[in-house]
Structure 1
Amino acid sequence: MTTLIACSHGTDSADGQRTIEELVALVREQIPRTRVVQAFVDVQEPDIASVVDRAVEDDDVVVVPLLLSVGFHTAVDIARAVRRHAGVRQAEPLGTHPLVAQVLATRLRAAIGGTWVDGDAVVLAAAGSSNPAAIADVETAAERLRSLIPAPVTIGYASAIDPRIPEAVQAARDAGARRVIAASHVLAPGYFAGLVQAAGADLVSAPLGADLRMAEVVVDRFRSA
């Protein structure tokens, strides 16, 4: 048997914890013959290194980051835990998968009540990282989203890199937007989702959440690894 370790950031938010648990439950339903366990890089336990150490004693192991882009946690925390054991594999993060853009578009339609209007603009609101690969991942996600919605899409970051989300929201208004919608490029409620909510957009979409399509992304990353 192969164990899929679904490794998320971790959060103090009860809603965020529940969302990730629900997403992992959907993943289990998709691959019932695969053992699926959770691990975390911060805030919550068990930590990724200890989960890998235990799982590798009995099974082949694939770690799927429940993260949306390459960054410190994928390149350091998860990679370090994976390198400790020969044969443990690390999948790609989720954010550049085409289905993620579809979920973003669905969340945006819900936020606007289903109807786009002239003067709408979208800010793809991402957590942020100074890692060039992470920036490229977010740009890929933005390009995929542009192909699915009729409004222009720019990018704002919650941390590490400019433009920050409030700046991107204001820039969209300065460019003539009558309504600015922040597309929450976050997986679940928590710290970064709170920053998106507080960034000054007229409307904010819900996090990607425990959507069946997100579970399909996790399974696809697992199988590809």
Structure 2
Amino acid sequence: MPARPEDLAVMFAAADFPWWIAGGYAIELAVGRELRPHGDLDVLVLRRDQARVRDLLTDWDLYVADPPGLGQLRPWRSGETLQPPLHDIWCRRTPEAPWSVQLMLDEAEGTHWVSRRTPRIRLPIERLGRRSGTGIPYLAPEVQLYYKAKATREKDETDFEAVLPLLGEPQRIWLANAIAVTAPDHPWRRRLMPPDAHEK
């Protein structure tokens, strides 16, 4: 039962670290309208800020996917520092409540965000996100689409089609080049690259 971005924004209002709505909700915040139902609410924070977000959610029931991607969850213990490859945390208000937030940890080096998939993909942290008309921070659509390109599903195609017209040429080229690193034959690349663009 996903929380809503506006609910999370209230809860994170006191956060002294950067955070961004991610996933499908990030795309909806970019386009300014609802596109489809959601199974969860994704939130991205930098790994180096995990103790701060752990303190912010101290009253929540938090479980980490260990190992990632295999459906095995264990409690995220207070004071525990999660090391790579652990990055996926399931959150609910109480042990009896449904899961409502999926917290994801990503890497950073100094002033740059670094993709957890490969250190070759990076951006200045100041370019990692945008703000909605109501001030909610969300992950830049080109970064969100890069993550969605790994294993594209029908909902990811919906998100791509909705946000593609809003991407400027620098965003399109960045995304096309980022996808080329991890999925060089992905069909989105042909839709993104202008005819005279060259990979950098």
TM-score (norm. length: structure 2): 0.32
Q: Which has the higher helix share?
A: 1
User: Bigger radius of gyration, 1 or 2?
Assistant: 1
